[in-house]
């Protein structure tokens, strides 16, 4: 197994497609497919289920993806540690959220707390499924969602299918706003 194969696996997870991963890495799709098949043969597992709609990671593939990300992060840490040009500490992280005012306020508070430090913060906004996919694929380290009685069962199943954990941060009550006077009275 090689570091390059791990990079391919991570990129496939990012794009949910071998051909899109190949394009992002400026390599051919057959090169990535062969590398994945070679890795599957070496490990004796199936990493990807290939369908006419793209690729889906198997249970073993998801486990391998976890280790691939961890190894690549460790390699980046080693390179960063020994690269004298990057002597200044730079913290990088990304947060995904549905469109919530409190999320933007929390990000502003975080930036104030990090004042004077070098950091790179990315905030992604999207639908709930996009937020979950961002965290699952590693594009974000944290996802902010609102859980309600209507969506609780769906989200719990979805979190389990992606091997993600939901941790409540706060509780809020829903409110309804309406004008004092309505056209009906």
pLDDT, tens digit (0-9, with 9 covering 90-100), for 42-58? 999 999 998 888 889 99
Domain boundary among 82, 112, 143: 82
Q: What is the pLDDT of residue 57?
A: 93
**Residue 97 and residue 70 in one domain:** no
**Residue 67 and residue 97 in one domain:** no
Domain boundary among 61, 82, 103: 82
Q: Is residue 25 part of a domain?
A: yes
**Residue 93 and residue 76 in one domain:** no
Q: Is residue 121 part of a domain?
A: yes
Q: Is residue 177 part of a domain?
A: no
Q: Structural domain tally of the chain?
A: 2
d(CA 176, CA 148): 15
Q: Is residue 174 part of a domain?
A: no
The domain that holds 55 is classified in CATH as 1.10.10.10
pLDDT (mean) for 114-134: 81
The predicted model scores a pTM of 0.48
**Residue 75 and residue 108 in one domain:** no
pLDDT (mean) for 58-73: 90
**Residue 12 and residue 70 in one domain:** yes
Residue bearing the bigger pLDDT, 2 or 113: 2
Is residue 85 over pLDDT 80?
A: no
Burial class of residue 140, CB neighbours in 10 A (0-12, 13-18, 19+)? buried
- Span 128-169, pLDDT tens digits: 888 888 888 888 888 888 888 888 888 888 888 888 888 877
CA dihedral 72, 77, 78, 80 (to 10 degrees): 120
Residue corresponding to tokens 């390599």: 27
d(CA 124, CA 96): 4
**Residue 74 and residue 8 in one domain:** yes
Tokens of 182: 């309505």
Residues spanned by the domain of 16: 3-82
């Amino acid at each position: 197994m090689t570091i390059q194969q791990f990079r391919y696996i991570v990129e496939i997870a990012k794009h949910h497609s071998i051909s899109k991963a190949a394009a992002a890495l400026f390599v051919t799709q057959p090169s990535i497919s062969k590398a994945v098949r070679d890795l599957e043969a070496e490990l004796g597992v199936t990493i990807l289920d290939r369908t006419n709609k793209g690729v889906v990671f198997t249970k073993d593939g998801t486990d391998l993806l976890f280790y691939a990300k961890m190894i690549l992060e460790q390699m980046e840490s080693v390179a960063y540690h020994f690269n004298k040009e990057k002597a200044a500490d730079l913290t990088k992280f990304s947060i995904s959220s549905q469109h919530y005012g409190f999320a933007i306020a929390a990000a502003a508070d975080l930036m104030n707390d990090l004042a004077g430090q070098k950091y790179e913060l990315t905030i992604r906004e999207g639908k709930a499924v996009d937020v979950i996919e961002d965290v699952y694929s590693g594009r974000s380290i944290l996802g902010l969602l609102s859980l309600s009685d209507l969506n609780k069962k769906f989200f719990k199943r979805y979190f389990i299918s992606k091997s993600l954990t939901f941790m409540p941060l706060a509780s809020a009550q829903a409110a309804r706003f309406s004008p004092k006077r309505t056209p009906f009275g």
